[in-house]
Amino acid sequence: MWLSGGVDSAVAAWLLKEKWYEVVAGFMKNYVDEDNPSCSTYQDAKEAIKVAEFLWLEIMSFDLRDEYEEKIVKYIYEWYKNGITPNPDILCNSLIKFDVFLDKAIELWFDWIAMWHYARIDKKDDWNHRLLRGIDYNKDQSYFLSWLNQYQLSKALFPIWWMKKSEVRNLAKKIWLPNADRKDSQWLCFIWKVPMKEFLKKRLPIKKWDIVLVDWTKVGEHEWAYFFTIWQSRGLDINKKAYVVNIDVEKNLVIVSYDKNEPELSSKEISVKNWHWIWKEYELPLKCKSKIRYRQEPQNAELRIENWKLKFICKEKQWWIAPGQSVVAYVWDECVWGGIIV
């Protein structure tokens, strides 16, 4: 059982014990910012140890910093440098938690790894597993699991899939978990409280240039275009609220609009690449629901091939379509497909 230091993983571990699983806690040390006092990896480790001691669990530490650097951190820098906004949380699930961590657990003769994700796995047989949305739609994390394959799903347990967040909190207090009142993390996977811009500045150079409106009127300056993403409104440091419409990393331009309804900020068509089917390949065109970000309510769409390209054709215009972000497809509650926005 991966103990993150948060209340969700603590409750998940308790539930597994209640079902008579032989549980061993694991803590992953993936990223440490020695220069930033707000980096909470060490505090998370202390919380995880307290929970393990409270639940009478053996706890093991896994130092995966080298793997995280190679598979996640380098990816973040490379994509931002090219003007693409990555989704490291999805990669972290498919390449760290359910890959490196899973492999190490299997090597130690464990049967499964348990996680705190709000999602369901429908095991049809030993080789076929469907990924379903969690009961709590507001916390559903199937979006972040959309790159998992069948082997990874076959080795995963999600003990709190049937609970709402409020129920998890209430249970944590009822059983007197030591971290029952700890706030949820809202930060990048394992990088926590390090602001993205400050994180990027560690390795990407600064070069000031222009912020312009869509009519090319200069309204400000920035430190480099790759620090921004589509639809961003914070951090522009200009006199009026504006939204990033486009970025040009070659010319180092940030193009903005004062109008959040700027036509360039929305589209009904979303082109995708690097996709995969989670369980089985459905026949195209496919009527489905789509999500282009975690908190979005699934949208009516059709997945189809047009001009030899795979596209989502959405019923309604979609906003904040950022290249590099992930898009997923649902058929009813099943997450069937995941890909990257071009």
How many Cβ atoms are within 10 Å of 62's Cβ, its own excluded? 16
Judge if the upstream peptide bond of residue 159 is cis by omega within 30 degrees of 0: no
In sign, the C-alpha dihedral spanning 64, 65, 70, 75 is positive
- Cα(289)–Cα(331) distance, rounded to whole angstroms? 6
- Cα(342)–Cα(282) distance, rounded to whole angstroms? 22
**CA atoms lying within 13 Å on the CB side of residue 253:** 14
Known catalytic residue at 314: no
- Cα(82)–Cα(34) distance, rounded to whole angstroms? 27
Known catalytic residue at 335: no
Alpha helices in 178-305 (DSSP H): 196-201
Collapsing DSSP to helix, strand or coil, 62 comes out as: strand
- Cα(49)–Cα(28) distance, rounded to whole angstroms? 12
Rg, C-alpha atoms of the chain: 21
Residue of 39, 92, 288, 335 marked active site = 92
- Cα(181)–Cα(184) distance, rounded to whole angstroms? 9
Strand bridging mode 266-277 / 309-319: antiparallel
- Cα(242)–Cα(236) distance, rounded to whole angstroms? 8
- Cα(108)–Cα(106) distance, rounded to whole angstroms? 5
* CA-based nearest residue to 128, from 303, 278, 291, 300: 278
What stretch of H or E contains 300? strand 299-306
Strand bridging mode 253-257 / 156-157: unpaired
Collapsing DSSP to helix, strand or coil, 169 comes out as: helix
Residue of 189, 288, 314, 335 marked active site = 189
Q: Which residues participate in catalysis according to the annotation?
A: 92, 189
